[in-house]
Amino acid sequence: MAEAPRRRPAFLDRLAQLPRQHPVAEIARNLTFVFNTRKACGSVLPTFGLGDYERESNTHQAVEALRLELLAAVRQHEPRLRDPAVRLLGRYRYNMVRFELSGLADGQACALGVDLDTTTRQVVVLMDEAGRR
């Protein structure tokens, strides 16, 4: 019987020499790094990270731009998550916006919560938290 292929850790995990975790936990950790990097500010790559949504003139446009930016970042920087989708779940607490990120990891459906603090711009990616309030 053929042996299952070994998964290679994410670049940021290898760079930081972080220990291996469950694949979905590794994806959440990697995306936390990506989403907390600001374009052209905390990165040598001008397209790495988030930030374009802050250019929008109103909240509705900014939230939709952020949703699309999250999706683009996942597609570009997290190939272990197949068929990703991002949907707005709404306001969470008084200063948070929550999104659900869903897709396939190792062939299994998974959903992650993505919380953005509108005051600090800090992003937290949570396992098993999508859809909860």
Q: Which helix (H) or strand (E) holds 63?
A: helix 59-77
DSSP-assigned beta bridge partners for residue 99: 88, 114
* Domains in the chain: boundaries: 12-127
Which CATH number is associated with domain 12-127? 3.10.450.40
> Per DSSP, what are the bridge partners of residue 92?
96
* Tens digit of each residue's pLDDT (9 = 90 or more) over 2-31: 444 445 555 555 555 655 667 898 899 989
Q: Is the pLDDT of residue 45 over 70?
A: no
> Structure pTM?
0.74
- pLDDT tens per residue across span 51-94: 655 655 667 787 888 899 999 999 988 999 999 999 999 888 88
What distances in angstroms separate CA 131 from CA 8, 18, 72, 87, 110, one per listed residue? Answer: 29, 28, 21, 10, 12
**Sign of torsion, CA 22 24 30 36?**
negative
Which helix (H) or strand (E) element contains residue 30? helix 23-35
Q: Report the chain's mean pLDDT, rounded to a whole number.
A: 78
